[in-house]
Structure 1
Amino acid sequence: MRTISLVSAFALAVATVAVPATAQAPLNPSAAAGVHTDLPRVAHPSHYTISITPDAKALTFTGTSSVDLEVTEATPALTLHALDLKIATATLTPAGGAAMPVTVTMDAKSQTATFTAAAPLKPGKYRLDTSYSGIINTQANGLFALDYPDKVTGKEVRGLFTQFEAPDARRFAPMFDEPIYKATFDLSATVPATQMAVSNMPIAKEEQLAGGMKRVTFGTSPKMSSYLLFFGLGDWERITKEAAPGVQAGIVAPKGSGEQARFALDELAPLIPYYSEYFGQPYPLPKIDNIAAPGQSQFFSAMENWGAILTFERILLNDPAITSAAARQNIVTTQAHEVAHQWFGNLVTMAWWEDLWLNEGFASWMETKATAHFHPDWFPLLERVNGRDAAMGLDGFKTTHPIVQEIKTVDETNQAFDAITYQKGEAVISMLEAFAGENVWRDGLRAYMRDHKFGNTRSKDLWQAIEKAGAPGLTAIATDFTTKPGIPLVKVTGMTCKKGVSTLTLQQSEFSVDRKDEVAAKPQQWKVPLIVSAGSGEPVRTILDGGKATVTVNGCGPIVINAGQLGYYRSLYTPQMLTSLKKAMPTLQPVDQMGLVADNLALSSSGYQPYGPAFDLLAAIPGNANPVVLGNAFGDFVGAWRVLDKDPAAQKKLYGKVASTYKPRLMALGFEPKADEPLRDADLRSTLIAGFGTMGDADVVAEARRRFAMLASNPKALDGPLKTTWLNIVARNATKADWEAIKAMAAASNSAVERQFLYTLLGRPADASLAKAARELALTDAPGKTTSAAMIVASAGLHPDETYDFALANREKIESLVDAQSRVTFIASLGGQSNDPAMIEKLKAFKATVPAEAARPVDRVIGVLTEKARTRPQFIKGLTDWQNAKGK
């Protein structure tokens, strides 16, 4: 699953297939030992036969389910998960025996249904049959509906989809809805004859019924966890190509999408042979579809259902009228992430959600590796620095958690989808791969896949496989970084260079944002793999195992103690070393340029050093730097400019510095996209235009207004990869007339993606009255059920206090606009950009209204705002002092 972060970390105060025999193996009791469960561990399923009849108009469905299961010890009843289901009938049939009625007891709090027979059940095989009804949601929980404009007629149409991760398959049928309970699935559906039905497997049989209906029966799935089941239905079209012998790749999209799906399909198909070879296991299904859902979620952007990935249309289809360079890259990386899950997560699945990172961290890591393989000119490996820094933005607070965390409730499961699981997971994996070596690492992964396919694992199973492949000592390092929260701090306490050899004295501590005194007195200790380099010399690899160490490296500098930025730790240098690094900055590797800036800004913000050295390093990034590096550095300066919002003179001075370095790069790129230009140049153009637009650059704002005015005579005047960029600038500076014009454009658009974008723009004006109008519009039916939340988020960008108050005043309506998984996170995050210390008390009051197990997102925002209140004045002083000292 690709998730969407709602809480910012304020770094700067800113057809049937034959199923292998192994797939039929029952639940392994030893594998389940010690694994959490909400259910009595007295039975397990082997096969489900589910048939549903959805009524899309009424937003209800009926269903029947037969579960083949085995009772492993005598029990008075069977308990399965069930939520928002009304079970009409239920019978239990022992193997070779007669059906017997059972009574059904529903428990909404535990989300279970208990089936009790007249006499206790003996060990053996049974079949549980139920008939039931359920609801079709309007947010992405269980079976849900999305309304969108037909691309040809503009008529409102409705599609149905499912989203089951983590705990929502139980909304579709009574199930053993935990990852360790794997089973095969037979799914059929009675649906309108004119619509396309899609599931994990190809259609095995299709029968025409009376009344314009048909019954679609899909092939039997491989053995899999319940959360990977998928069903979709709508007025769709599908384009395909061969991905591998016997495997068809397809993109399913709303009718009229046509060639908009071609780019995604061409990127999807090669992933199957690439991952099959890398993991040493062939893709086990006959098809891989990616289904475009014309809506959005505040919780996730794509889901890895086996053979039937669900991705929201805005990050799957390539519409030349609106798709930006960044969006094209996101199509590739999102698919790479979800297809990686077909192995890491689907073929081999974590036993319980505490090891969710075995799915998400590895999919994030493989997404980057695959993108680097197919598109090295996009410099995707550089993005790992940003991912690592995003994770550290959470991990430096006392509200953090280890990668492998204790999870017992549904609320705790939903909170596990965060930057620690994804980005810290990816960063730690990258570090461990560097420690083991690429070949040993891959060999270990292949053995892991081979030995555990169609089964469940825990983290230790992976470490054992890697060590056995030839990486002794890896388990100890991996255990440290996955079971301990927080971030190591590696400090250089001394350096000498004699006869071309540098000698470094290093000391390990712990980096923290909001508990520095505590960690200084008693820091955690990790076994930290180091890669130390001096200039162009060969890096030195060593392990810093707590305390102090001495490292020698050939060369006298510049010294980088996290060369390649593959280590998950902050690096604190001496002032003299920072001076050397500043001079060498233009010649350092791009990845080290990014890592050094990120580390030093964080260290300065958290009080480990003055701000001057961090700004020196940032300013030392040259105007001709790698486009990814340059875009990041420019973004840091734009963020700093925003923090100076109460000091126009200081803002003007900083703008002058920024413009002198970055405006020439924008002018060289030009305002118009160029044919066949590198994607990263196109993306940098957009980044620079957007940033200068934020800072009110006269040339950029005038150009945005000129182009917007052209829409009056030519509605397609802005079409192209920069459409969203120019319109964002217009929206920020919108007048009432501009706002009304954007609103009219949104209502008239036949593109679901464009409509969502335009409605969201209405929340972005700096004008408080227009932002208020957008919030009020979001509570009407006009934007659409899944767009309103995005409008409210947009309003919080420049008006966080007013938006938060509005959300609380309309809490019930607001919560209905958001997936169940993210309701608490969503409301708390709206106040996250506030600069008013009073917001902290508001959030504390809000926290008192939510269950204790759901409160972590609120605590995170409170922690960020508390630290922000302390550091924001220091940042402003540090920045202005630096500008004054440099005469900038």
Structure 2
Amino acid sequence: MNSATRHLLLVTLSSLSLAAAAPTLAEEAFMAAHANAAAPLAKSVPSQLPRIARPSHYDIAITPDAKALTFTGRVAIDLELFERSSSITMNALDLRFSSASLSKADGSGKVPLAATLDAAAQTVTFTAPAALVPGKYTLTADYSGVINTQANGLFALDYPDKATGEPRRGLFTQFEAPDARRFAPSFDEPSYKATFTLSATVPADQLAVSNMPVEREFAAANGLKTVRFGASPRMSSYLLFFGVGDFERLAMKSESGAEVGIVSPKGSGEQARFALDSLAPLLGYYTDYFGQPYPLPKLDNIAGPGQSQFFGAMENWGAIFTFERILLDDPAITSEATRQAIYGVQAHEVAHQWFGDLVTMAWWDDLWLNEGFASWMATKVTDHFHPEWQPLLTRVHGRESAMSLDAYRTTHPILQTIRTVEDTNQAFDAITYKKGEAVISMLEAYAGEDVWRSGLRGYMAAHKYGNSRTDDLWNAIEAAGAKGLTAIAHDFTGQPGIPLIRMTGSQCKAGANLISVTQGEFSRDRRASIDGEGRRWQVPMLVRTIGGDEQRVVVRDGKASVKVDHCGPTILNGGQLGYFRTLYTPQALAALRSDFAKIQPIDQLGLLSDNFALSIAGYQPMDAALGLLAATPADANPYVLMEAASRYAQLYRVFEGDAATQAAIAARGAAALRPALNRLGFDPKDSEPALDAVLRADVIRALGMMGDPAVLGEARRRFARLDSDPRALDGPAKGLWLDIVATNAGAAGWDKLRRLAQASKSAVERSTLYTLLGAAKDDALAQRALDLALTAEPGQTTSAAIIGRVAGYHADAAVAFVEAHQTEVDRLIDASARVRFLASLAMNSDDPAMIAALEAKAAALPADVRKPYERTIAVLREHAESNPRIRAESKVWLAGE
């Protein structure tokens, strides 16, 4: 400490009663008054901060400089100190502090604070000249920060003006999970809820938006204005939002009383209409379902150009952020599948306004309370408003995406231990979202819809504006009448993995089917160690016979018997509401295959998914799965035909390099899928069912992947029309046809796609076209795409997507490229996704040397950073072991059919 600082300390100590070496009589009285104050955080809740203070209100004022990519800020934090201390530590990252001070709540007794940053811990410690007594204070700090070019903290997105094509820049924020600390010093953990008031000084001709409506606005110097937003309800720091730019807002009043709006780049116009018209009814539905009104005066959904490798949308309270590609409905490029995704993503984020925002998990261990429930709720509300989309059938696909991770030893429980920032980033995966949704669906079926909703309503009422743990939810649902649910829920949320239900016997007696089952565990890479052992779950099942009865049973202690009043073929996971794999006896599976056309579509999907997983993992021969695929009727439900199309295309890819076998698969796939395409045609029909449009695209995509001459010829013909009419392909199938062209492109076609990307005035189309440049099978074109990704041409948030697309056919080249340009590539990826990026590129490698290379790389990494590499290594190792068997068994089946 230098002499000037020492002199300042002596003056401060002699003049202030707020901070002193020994408490005065007034301070002793003050401390006595707060001696029984509640602790700032329960000991059961993890935290990376000292547990001595908590905030009650933040008043943040910022002035961004979009051109310089910097901002200045001032924050006043009302907080309570619970222990005598000379310092207060909170989160901060990439901030620089010019001054800080602390005063009593009434503004008196101001003392200077020294700010010390710890970049590794992502904290700032504000230190007073002497110890502070417990009590209520206001901490004020002036600081500056950086505006990022990827979606972390306050970030910029550049895009072409929709009318002129001129460059524009919008500013947005993304704070989940650990990035509010990049915007302001804060207690950046979910249990430190507080209210927020935000002010921003911005260009006078731009639109600023935050969680709450604008409270007042006044002119500032140099063509600027200051916008002050209303105070928010109590919420976690990661839910704060700010955005500003050349935006427009399409808005309407909802029946709930809140105003809803879509904020988008100027010129978007009616592209926002579909999302807006969908948004208003969601508020009413959720208000009724949860028994709690939407508490804010408005709800905006803000469209951001660009994309992220980490997320697509974020549920900021009252100000959802969604990338434009899944929010705006552009008739020139938006497919029917994307329109349905627009609805589903928005439904997910609006569900968060209750499940996540009104009631927030206490710590990131319980992240699934946010994400699993929002996914489940989005499917439920979509089924309510759009039953013609048959969204309940998509739950099978969601379950499969979770099981694709959960089948490996590198999986994790739904309830996982989160202790580092990187742990938190990696928690956003299919286990959290899709296994969460699948388990909730199973538990709702166990409890019954009415009991389940009653329990949720009680949970919401008890914890609104606060934080909760998973058991708080189970207790509420049990209290509503779902006895025994907690034990089942603990089995499925507290341990990883997938139960395997084996049918061990089935016999018909007196018109009833008597079935016996045992419970084991399904795994892709540790089967030898779990056969006959493994984990135990209490597994709810719905046993259903085709055209007959159904019976509910819970498998306990590893076995069960069930009697169903019908002797027809039997499905052990009726309605596919159970989170488990089902292994039938060969005789039972043969009966199901014979009557496959009579089975309900959701069970057809489940049977196909289960049997492919079981065959690929070696629990049964490949002919068990391939026989079901061959039994799929030509007029099956669209989702079932989409699944069949996907299976043929996947099988085709397995035989890369074996042209004869690929030709046999392509012929079989064409025979199975051509009837649907003949019925649907290449072009949409007026007023056709929405799922017909989705099915058409999936069938064309699968046939194109398998080299179907008619599809490839049609793609080339349509692509050629762009030479005379740049809008010739406009419509919902544009991206599909260009994808097929890009995959099979030569140098001339690749150059033409690049020119189309350069000329586009649509941020979404531009990004899509640049990304397609990475799709080419041609080695030289793949390298050109990689080189292009490191230039400024595609845009800051598109380059990582190009590299990712290259990895589809050239995984080894993509990995080598990233390793050679690691520093440059890191700048193209969200900080939240950087650790996972290279490991994800390697997932498609079939070079045995890749496993050893990844192992060497992972060995030098910390445990939390190593996880994505361990997952990829496990998958590649298992594929190397199982693929020869899969190929051999599949070839036998192809030859025998």
- State how far apart, in whole Å, the 1-side matches of 2:504 and 2:281 are: 49
The answer as to 2:145 corresponding to 1:134 is: yes
Q: Is the 8 A contact 1:593 1:629 kept in 2?
A: yes
CA-to-partner distance for each residue in 1:821-849, whole Å, 9 max, x for gaps?
11121111111101111111121122234
Query: Structure 2 matches for 1:610-689, cutoff 5 A?
Result: 610-689=621-700
Query: Structure 2 matches for 1:95-174, cutoff 5 A?
Result: 95-96=105-106, 97-174=108-185
Amino acid at match of 2:99: T
Equivalent pairs: percent with the same residue? 58
The answer as to 2:711 corresponding to 1:695 is: no
Q: Is the 8 A contact 1:824 1:850 kept in 2?
A: no
Q: Is the 8 A contact 2:37 2:82 kept in 1?
A: no
CA-to-partner distance for each residue in 1:498-546, whole Å, 9 max, x for gaps?
1210111110111111111221253110111111111232311111012
The answer as to 2:520 corresponding to 1:530 is: no
- State how far apart, in whole Å, the 2-side matches of 1:644 and 1:350 are: 46
- State how far apart, in whole Å, the 1-side matches of 2:600 and 2:660 are: 35
Choose from 250, 253, 257 the match for 1:246. Answer: 257
CA-to-partner distance for each residue in 1:710-755, whole Å, 9 max, x for gaps?
0000000000000001001111111111111110110111000000
Choose from 302, 316, 320 the match for 2:327. Answer: 316
TM-superposed deviation, 1:679: 1.1
The answer as to 2:823 corresponding to 1:823 is: no
Distance 1:27 1:224, change over 3 A: farther
RMSD: 1.1
Q: Is the 8 A contact 1:31 1:456 kept in 2?
A: no
CA-to-partner distance for each residue in 1:769-789, whole Å, 9 max, x for gaps?
011001000000000000000
Query: Structure 2 matches for 1:161-200, cutoff 5 A?
Result: 161-200=172-211
The answer as to 2:820 corresponding to 1:809 is: yes
Instruction: Quote the residue 1:209 is aligned against.
Output: 220
Instruction: Quote the residue 1:12 is aligned against.
Output: none
Q: Structure 1 residues 455-464 or 673-682, which shifts more?
A: 673-682
TM-superposed deviation, 1:29: 4.1
Distance 1:279 1:418, change over 3 A: same
Q: Is the 8 A contact 1:32 1:180 kept in 2?
A: no
Q: Is the 8 A contact 1:27 1:44 kept in 2?
A: no
Instruction: Quote the residue 2:30 is aligned against.
Output: none
The answer as to 2:57 corresponding to 1:50 is: no
Instruction: Quote the residue 1:474 is aligned against.
Output: 485
Amino acid at match of 1:715: P
Choose from 238, 252, 271 the match for 1:260. Answer: 271
Distance 1:245 1:268, change over 3 A: closer
Amino acid at match of 1:485: P
Q: Is the 8 A contact 2:697 2:736 kept in 1?
A: yes
Amino acid at match of 2:74: T
The answer as to 2:87 corresponding to 1:69 is: no
CA-to-partner distance for each residue in 1:170-211, whole Å, 9 max, x for gaps?
000000000000000000000000000000000000001221
Instruction: Classify the secondary structure of the residue corresponding to 1:636.
Output: helix
Instruction: Classify the secondary structure of the residue corresponding to 2:596.
Output: helix
Instruction: Quote the residue 2:441 is aligned against.
Output: 430
Amino acid at match of 1:61: F
- State how far apart, in whole Å, the 1-side matches of 2:40 and 2:87 are: 23
- State how far apart, in whole Å, the 2-side matches of 1:95 and 1:732 are: 64
Instruction: Classify the secondary structure of the residue corresponding to 1:275.
Output: helix
Instruction: Quote the residue 1:728 is aligned against.
Output: 739
CA-to-partner distance for each residue in 1:668-704, whole Å, 9 max, x for gaps?
1001111121111001111111111111111111111
Distance 1:735 1:27, change over 3 A: farther
Instruction: Classify the secondary structure of the residue corresponding to 2:704.
Output: helix
CA-to-partner distance for each residue in 1:761-814, whole Å, 9 max, x for gaps?
111111110110010000000000000001001111111111111111111111
Instruction: Quote the residue 1:452 is aligned against.
Output: 463
TM-superposed deviation, 1:30: 9.1
- State how far apart, in whole Å, the 2-side matches of 1:700 and 1:594 are: 26
TM-superposed deviation, 1:28: 6.4
- State how far apart, in whole Å, the 2-side matches of 1:445 and 1:75 are: 41
Amino acid at match of 1:187: L
CA-to-partner distance for each residue in 1:201-250, whole Å, 9 max, x for gaps?
00000001221100000000010000000000000000011122430110
TM-superposed deviation, 1:661: 1.6
Instruction: Quote the residue 2:27 is aligned against.
Output: none
TM-superposed deviation, 1:32: 2.2
Dislocated runs of 4+, deviation >6 Å: none
- State how far apart, in whole Å, the 2-side matches of 1:302 and 1:334 are: 7
Instruction: Classify the secondary structure of the residue corresponding to 1:855.
Output: helix
The number of residues matched between the two structures is 861
TM-superposed deviation, 1:459: 0.2
Choose from 88, 97, 100 the match for 1:78. Answer: 88
Instruction: Quote the residue 2:283 is aligned against.
Output: 272
Instruction: Classify the secondary structure of the residue corresponding to 1:832.
Output: helix
TM-superposed deviation, 1:619: 1.4
Report the TM-score when normalising by structure 2. Answer: 0.95
TM-superposed deviation, 1:873: 1.0
Amino acid at match of 1:70: E
The answer as to 2:770 corresponding to 1:759 is: yes
Amino acid at match of 1:431: M
Instruction: Quote the residue 2:451 is aligned against.
Output: 440
Q: Is the 8 A contact 2:520 2:532 kept in 1?
A: no
CA-to-partner distance for each residue in 1:84-130, whole Å, 9 max, x for gaps?
00011000112343110111111001000011112212111000000
CA-to-partner distance for each residue in 1:653-673, whole Å, 9 max, x for gaps?
111111112111101100111
- State how far apart, in whole Å, the 2-side matches of 1:711 and 1:263 are: 28
Instruction: Quote the residue 1:372 is aligned against.
Output: 383
Choose from 786, 789, 798 the match for 1:778. Answer: 789
Q: Structure 1 residues 836-845 or 417-426, which shifts more?
A: 836-845
- State how far apart, in whole Å, the 1-side matches of 2:856 and 2:824 are: 19
Amino acid at match of 2:371: E
TM-superposed deviation, 1:648: 1.2
CA-to-partner distance for each residue in 1:51-89, whole Å, 9 max, x for gaps?
000000000000000000011122231001000000110
Instruction: Classify the secondary structure of the residue corresponding to 1:214.
Output: strand
Residue ranges of structure 1 left out of the alignment (5+ in a row): 1-25
- State how far apart, in whole Å, the 1-side matches of 2:43 and 2:644 are: 49
Query: Structure 2 matches for 1:345-494, cutoff 5 A?
Result: 345-494=356-505
Q: Is the 8 A contact 1:190 1:214 kept in 2?
A: yes
